[in-house]
Structure 1
Amino acid sequence: MLTTMTYRMPNFTLEQKLYLLQKIHSVVDAVQDFRKDTNTTVYRNAVWAELAQVFNEAFPNRPPSSVGSLKTLWKRLKVELFAFSLQVQREVMTLVPNLISNMEDMDGDVSYVSVTNSSPGAGT
């Protein structure tokens, strides 16, 4: 029985991921345009083909990446970035109560005093 081994592409390096993000930044509106009309689809496919060509030229020692593999990488990066932003958001929210209580503990907080005493007729 003959078995054929499938070739697995090497993982994308951090440099390659950052490069793709940099290149997508300038065309993100086209890449993220999910309208189904023919003109949009043709343009979006052309943008992805150009991204793949530029990406493969930038990394000639890596086996060429297909448009599909770059699209998959882009989807994964978006998910990772979204998860990271949620984590940062949660961490900030846990810090906010501490920041507020520390500000209230400060003596002579001029900005707090000036805001609370800035009503018309205050001090008259």
Structure 2
Amino acid sequence: MPVQTQLASVAAWNDEVHVRANRALYREKFDAVLNILSPVLDVQRPDGSFYLWPNVQGDDAAFCRDLFEQEHVTVVPGSYLSRDVDGVNPGAGRVRMALVAPLAECVEAAERIRDFITRQK
């Protein structure tokens, strides 16, 4: 490996400033989104991820389709991201929400999801 690449790698691996900043940013996103969604969804903060995996209590694919159709928010059916093991799909009934957008967009999406769920009840 060229020396320049090695030196760049050392600099990147030694830079913890951006890591701390990203952790703080994701903590803020999780706090805001969980505050909005926890009253209406069975959802927990992950130990280490930028995804939420709430239980939608039913057909995860239909939930995603209807949410997009009514609120223009995209989440992924959990059953699409896992496979059946002994006749059970561990992702079934869950959706994956990625909190990768800016904070304001994550909050707006969470509010739309909350409103969608509230109308379903």
TM-score band by shorter chain is under 0.3
Q: Which has the larger radius of gyration?
A: 1
Question: Relative contact order (C-alpha < 8 Å, sep 6+): which is higher?
Answer: 2
TM-score by length of 2: 0.27
* Structure with greater helix percent: 1
